[in-house]
Chain A
Amino acid sequence: MRWIWIDKFVEFEPQKRAVAVKNVSRAEDHLHDQYPAYPMMPTSLIVEGMAQTAGILVGHARRFSERVILAKIKRATIDDIVVPGEQLTYEATLERIDDSGASTTGRVLRNGRLIGQIDIVFSHVDRASGAQIGIPDHNFVFTDDFMRLLRTYNVKDSAQDD
């Protein structure tokens, strides 16, 4: 299984907003693990889907040169369950970005109806402090494999290309 929790971007406005969808399929093993008799999308993975949507928006804003890590989930409210056959939509908005990091707000929709909000703070790991706490010097977030994958989403990997 690959750690990919969004199927495609349906909107991508660099440095502003990204909208991604995920179709929830009964074939996915993880749906059956939380409550074996009642398959549903785990809330933690909905948060991950938003983190991937917003994280790519943040990374793209600096042309994937920063090592973007999820620092803090400021708020996560999911008011309903999501079951197989339904579609999740993640709407992420870039609220702020600078050298130290970024913050995003996000809406979660199920089949087009709002069911939650997830706001996230991302950190840009700088070389000096990263080395002090043992974070690798290379860009372990936006790797070559990631950039290849990103091209399949039809998101251009340079803000200047848009």
Chain B
Amino acid sequence: MAKSRDEIFAQVQNTLVDALGVDEEDVSEGATLTQDLGAESIDFLDIVFRLEKAFAIKIPRGELFPDDVVNNPDYVENGRFTADGLSKLKAAMPHADFTKFEQNPTVDMVPTLFTVKTIVNYIERKLA
């Protein structure tokens, strides 16, 4: 039987509590992984491994967190994503909410794309 969004969220929440050592109440849908939950870059690999195990899915490298696009210097000028870069980023992350990011698409704002909601959206699409 397909999992409901609430069930997916609860499992993602447990995963992040275990991976990052944070309290359950801190893991809201809007929380950003790095700024709110204190994740470091290396935690992303751990999170991917744990999500794969928790949901019995395979997450190809760069699909959930497309670091090859995020870190591609060709898509950035003076600290801002170019129109092409932004377009590539949106294509690579259909599971992310770009509403806030698009207002100021700078490198510094990238962490706002990596939220708990982004993960829940990704898993929901993956399990659909």
**Contact of A100 with B61 in the complex, beta carbons under 8 Å:** yes
In the bound complex, CA of A71 to CA of B47 (Å): 12
Query: B residues touching A (Cβ–Cβ < 8 Å)?
Result: 19, 42-43, 45-46, 48-49, 52-53, 61, 67, 71
Offer 28 A-B interface pairs, CB within 8 angstroms, sorted by A: A71-B42, A71-B45, A71-B46, A72-B42, A72-B43, A72-B45, A72-B46, A74-B19, A74-B46, A95-B49, A95-B53, A96-B49, A96-B52, A96-B53, A99-B61, A100-B45, A101-B45, A101-B49, A103-B46, A103-B49, A121-B45, A121-B46, A121-B49, A123-B42, A123-B45, A129-B67, A129-B71, A132-B71
Chain A contact surface mostly:
strand
What residues of A have a CB within 8 angstroms of the CB of B42 in the complex?
71-72, 121, 123
Q: Separation in Å of the B79 CB from the closest CB of chain A?
A: 16
Chain B contact surface mostly:
helix
What residues of A have a CB within 8 angstroms of the CB of B71 in the complex?
129, 132
Query: A residues touching B (Cβ–Cβ < 8 Å)?
Result: 71-72, 74, 95-96, 98-101, 103, 121, 123, 129, 132
Chain A's closest residue to B48 (CB) is A100
What residues of A have a CB within 8 angstroms of the CB of B52 in the complex?
96
Chain B's closest residue to A123 (CB) is B45
In the bound complex, CA of A132 to CA of B71 (Å): 10
Chain B's closest residue to A103 (CB) is B49
Q: Separation in Å of the B50 CB from the closest CB of chain A?
A: 9
What residues of B have a CB within 8 angstroms of the CB of A71 in the complex?
42, 45-46
What residues of A have a CB within 8 angstroms of the CB of B45 in the complex?
71-72, 100-101, 121, 123
**Contact of A98 with B61 in the complex, beta carbons under 8 Å:** yes
Q: Separation in Å of the B87 CB from the closest CB of chain A?
A: 22
In the bound complex, CA of A99 to CA of B48 (Å): 13
What residues of B have a CB within 8 angstroms of the CB of A74 in the complex?
19, 46
In the bound complex, CA of A55 to CA of B61 (Å): 21
Q: Separation in Å of the A54 CB from the closest CB of chain B?
A: 14
What residues of B have a CB within 8 angstroms of the CB of A95 in the complex?
49, 53
In the bound complex, CA of A98 to CA of B42 (Å): 15
Chain A's closest residue to B62 (CB) is A100
Q: Separation in Å of the B41 CB from the closest CB of chain A?
A: 9
In the bound complex, CA of A59 to CA of B42 (Å): 19
In the bound complex, CA of A103 to CA of B43 (Å): 12
Q: Separation in Å of the A122 CB from the closest CB of chain B?
A: 9
In the bound complex, CA of A132 to CA of B73 (Å): 11
In the bound complex, CA of A48 to CA of B127 (Å): 38
Q: Separation in Å of the B33 CB from the closest CB of chain A?
A: 14
